[in-house]
Amino acid sequence: MKLIVGFGNPGEKFANNRQNIGFKVIDILGNNENIDVRIKKKKSVIGRGKIMSTDVVLLKPQTFVTLIGESVLYIASFLRINVKDIICIVEDSTMELGELRVDYVLTSLTHEGVKSMEKALKSDRFAKIRVGIGTPPKGITMEKYLLQDFTVDENLILIDVLNKTEEVVKMLIKHPIEEVQEKYNPDGAPKIRKRTVKTVRIDHRKSKK
């Protein structure tokens, strides 16, 4: 079973905010896969169903972004879902709208929601789909920018962005994350350097003296 978590803030007034792009992806997945995301659990709204014959849970946390880990931990524990089977969809203000990348253990992303998940799950071994939302213009604080709605022009691009993110989620359900990274990340899957162990030679002749 896969747990797919969309980042966002609960409430109609936040619906089209930049920070709610994760919720938008969950809504698209729910609509296209006939999964009704309306079941209320502790600090969560979820929907259960299948995507490409795989059991999935779609989750929209109801805790606000900085406390997302609470709802994720509850649902993952309740349904006995492993950390490695969790996929989160998060906005990224360091990338332009339309850009996308997939991270796993190695990530340069700094995000309060991701930190909350790592703390609650006591692990960072879950997939992170980073969706670019553009960077704030000069004079606009990050907090204000994230709570702004997408512009009319951006909404035209947003449809393609959401569809592309949906494709990434589906690929992650069936394929190894490195394969997904090779396809969608500009620099491919990160090459993780294996730790080398230094060999120490002991001169036994000296120890006998």
Can you give the pLDDT at residue 197?
47
Q: What is the pLDDT of residues 65-110, one digit of tens each?
A: 889 999 999 999 999 999 999 999 999 999 999 899 999 876 677 8
Q: What is the pLDDT of residues 29-60, one digit of tens each?
A: 999 999 999 999 888 999 999 999 999 999 99
Can you give the pLDDT at residue 58?
98
| Lowest-pLDDT choice from 7-16, 20-29, 141-150, 198-207 | 198-207
Boundaries of domain holding 107 = 2-207
Give the helix/strand (H/E) hosting 92. strand 86-92
Q: What is the pLDDT of residues 164-196, one digit of tens each?
A: 999 999 999 999 999 999 999 887 777 655 444
Can you give the pLDDT at residue 86?
97
Can you give the pLDDT at residue 203?
55
Q: How far apart are CA 59 and CA 78, in angstroms?
A: 13
Q: How far apart are CA 181 and CA 109, in angstroms?
A: 15
DSSP state of 196: P
Contact 136, 142 (CB under 8 A): yes
CATH of the domain at 178: 3.40.50.1470
Q: Which residues contact 207 (CB under 8 A, 6 or more apart)?
A: none
| Lowest-pLDDT choice from 13-22, 47-56, 140-149, 200-209 | 200-209
Average pLDDT over residues 188-207: 56
Contact 23, 29 (CB under 8 A): no
Can you give the pLDDT at residue 194?
47
Instruction: Tally the domains of the chain.
Output: 1
- Cα-based distances in Å from 113 to 133, 183, 207: 16, 25, 56
Give the CA radius of gyration of the chain.
20
What is the identity of the amino acid at 192?
A: I
Can you give the pLDDT at residue 190?
77
Backbone angles phi, psi at 63, to 5 degrees: -110, 0
End-to-end alpha carbon distance in the chain = 63
**149 CB-contact burial (10 Å; exposed 0-12 / middle 13-18 / buried 19+):** middle
Q: How far apart are CA 86 and CA 70, in angstroms?
A: 14
Can you give the pLDDT at residue 196?
47
